[in-house]
Amino acid sequence: MTVSHLRLPHLATAAALGVSLATMTGSAQAATEWDMPTPYGDRTFHTVNIREFTEDVREATDGELDITVHSNGSLIGHAEIKNSVRRGIVPMGEVIMSRLANENPIFEVDSVPYLAASYEEAWTLWEASREIIAEELQKQGLRLLFAVPWPPQGIYTNQAIESGDDLKNLSMRAYNTASERIAQLVGAVPTQVEVPDIPTAFSTGRVEAMITSPATGADTKAWDYLNHFNHAQLWLPKNMIIVSEKAFSRLSEDTQQALLEAAADAETRGWEMSQQETTDAIAVLKENGITVTEPSEALAETLKEVGETMTEEWVERAGEQGQTILDAYRSAGE
Ligand code: PCA
């Protein structure tokens, strides 16, 4: 937190009133400047939404809270963002929720294949899981501000995929444990690659296929190195915006309120943007020569089996907390 300016007119008034400078600087409303690292590029709708969010905060607080977005992992790499917020290196940041699956499987509830594969289901699942996820984060001194899903995940390849067999032995780019596991289960070979490194990973031959959204395919110009997208709609993983509770508590009550309101708006807007992005990005993929298909019966069969296996594995790992989420999700869907 840096103090960027003191309000001189107020100081002058204070001096005239005989208030000591020490008292004044203690209570003066200096603008708070925050740096916010995010993992994804400027073209990504998530980043566009976050910038709009910071603009809303600036406006609502009359510039008292000034958040600078550092996109594309430029300030802090994705792998380090969460711990950087936790350790107070930066006050807030964005991460994909499922990246924290190694801490607690509930963070990857949104990446279980076919558990929630439409926006409606994804929203119901989010409502069923938000509180428990927020509580887990709170234990680490982190406050959850909002979460926004990526469009449904599909499979990019260099040839048409007729059945699960066509995925065997492909080196497949992964971004979380679920995309890694699905690759393993179809007999492919997963490699973790962050979005900013996708073009290089393909051009150097490190990977030859990937599971991601139409959005990320369009953002990374997938047509430069791939020609098929299978819109399998496996899951809708979410990015979440977290703030250090300590940094949050240092804000004035009004500023806290403004931040929370802007966050609620950003969540609503982000979910709408994501849906729109699904349509827009698929159109962009097609315009650039990518063949977009739906899974064949044979592929659907394989993916369904893989989904069932991964659901069982997740339920086993996620224990009681996982069951609580599933019960809430299923009863909301009835
Ligand atoms: N894009 C991000 C996460 C999911 C998505 O659609 C990625 O590919 O890493």
Q: Where are the domains of the chain?
A: 20-101+129-149+239-282, 154-234+289-332
- Report the nearest-CA residue for atom 4 of ligand 1: 212
In this chain, the answer to whether the domains covering 20-101+129-149+239-282 and 154-234+289-332 adopt an identical fold is: yes
Q: If you measure from the C-alpha of residue 2 to the centroid of ligand 1, how many angstroms do you get, rounded to a whole number?
A: 33
Pick the closest to residue 71 from 44, 96, 107, 52 (CA basis). Answer: 44
E strand or H helix that includes residue 292 = strand 291-293
**Measured distance CA(90)–CA(291) in Å, rounded:** 42
Q: If you measure from the C-alpha of residue 78 to the centroid of ligand 1, how many angstroms do you get, rounded to a whole number?
A: 12
For residue 194, pLDDT beyond 50: yes
**Measured distance CA(334)–CA(67) in Å, rounded:** 41
Q: How confident is the model at residue 333 (pLDDT cuts 50, 70, 90)?
A: confident
Least confident segment among 14-23, 32-41, 130-139, 252-261: 14-23
pLDDT, residue 30, reads 74
Q: What is the mean pLDDT of residues 219-224?
A: 97
- Closest approach atom of ligand 1 to CA 210: 8
Ligand 1 binding pocket includes 215 (Cβ within 6 Å): yes
Residue 64 and residue 32 in contact, taking contact as beta carbons nearer than 8 Å? yes
How much is the pTM? 0.91
- Report the nearest-CA residue for atom 8 of ligand 1: 212
pLDDT, residue 29, reads 61
Strand ranges inside 158-266, DSSP E: 171-174, 189-192, 209-212, 228-230, 238-244
**Measured distance CA(328)–CA(79) in Å, rounded:** 31
With left for phi above 0 and alpha for psi between -120 and 50, is residue 114 left, alpha or beta?
Answer: left
Q: How far is CA 331 from the centre of its chain?
A: 26
**Measured distance CA(329)–CA(126) in Å, rounded:** 8
β-strand partners of 65: 32
Please determine, looking at this structure, whether the domain spanning 20-101+129-149+239-282 carries the CATH number 3.30.70.260: no
- Pocket probe mutation, ligand 1, options 107, 194, 195, 274, max atoms within 8 Å of Cβ: 195
Residue 93 and residue 35 in contact, taking contact as beta carbons nearer than 8 Å? no
Q: If you measure from the C-alpha of residue 182 to the centroid of ligand 1, how many angstroms do you get, rounded to a whole number?
A: 15
Q: Strand, helix or coil at 54?
A: helix
Q: Strand, helix or coil at 241?
A: strand
Ligand 1 binding pocket includes 54 (Cβ within 6 Å): no
Percentage of the chain with pLDDT > 90?
90
Q: What is the mean pLDDT of the chain?
A: 92
Q: How confident is the model at residue 251 (pLDDT cuts 50, 70, 90)?
A: very high
Q: How confident is the model at residue 186 (pLDDT cuts 50, 70, 90)?
A: very high
For residue 13, pLDDT beyond 60: no
- Pocket probe mutation, ligand 1, options 81, 156, 180, 216, max atoms within 8 Å of Cβ: 216
Q: How confident is the model at residue 334 (pLDDT cuts 50, 70, 90)?
A: confident
Q: What is the pLDDT of residues 87-98, one digit of tens each?
A: 999 999 999 999
| Measured distance between the N- and C-terminal CA atoms of the chain, rounded to whole angstroms | 47
pLDDT, residue 115, reads 97
Q: What is the mean pLDDT of residues 180-208?
A: 97
Q: What is the mean pLDDT of residues 4-29?
A: 42
Ligand 1 binding pocket includes 195 (Cβ within 6 Å): yes
Q: Strand, helix or coil at 135?
A: helix
Strand 209-212 versus strand 171-174 pairing type: parallel
E strand or H helix that includes residue 51 = helix 45-60
**Measured distance CA(161)–CA(142) in Å, rounded:** 42
Ligand 1 binding pocket includes 237 (Cβ within 6 Å): yes
Q: If you measure from the C-alpha of residue 108 to the centroid of ligand 1, how many angstroms do you get, rounded to a whole number?
A: 13
Percentage of the chain with pLDDT > 70?
91
Q: If you measure from the C-alpha of residue 16 to the centroid of ligand 1, how many angstroms do you get, rounded to a whole number?
A: 57
E strand or H helix that includes residue 242 = strand 238-244
pLDDT, residue 9, reads 39
Strand ranges inside 57-195, DSSP E: 65-70, 92-96, 142-149, 154-157, 171-174, 189-192
Q: Strand, helix or coil at 263?
A: helix
- Closest approach atom of ligand 1 to CA 239: 3
Ligand 1 binding pocket includes 167 (Cβ within 6 Å): no
Q: If you measure from the C-alpha of residue 155 to the centroid of ligand 1, how many angstroms do you get, rounded to a whole number?
A: 12
Fold of 154-234+289-332: D-Maltodextrin-Binding Protein; domain 2 (3.40.190)
- Closest approach atom of ligand 1 to CA 213: 6
Q: If you measure from the C-alpha of residue 51 to the centroid of ligand 1, how many angstroms do you get, rounded to a whole number?
A: 19
Ligand 1 binding pocket includes 210 (Cβ within 6 Å): no
Ligand 1 binding pocket includes 175 (Cβ within 6 Å): yes
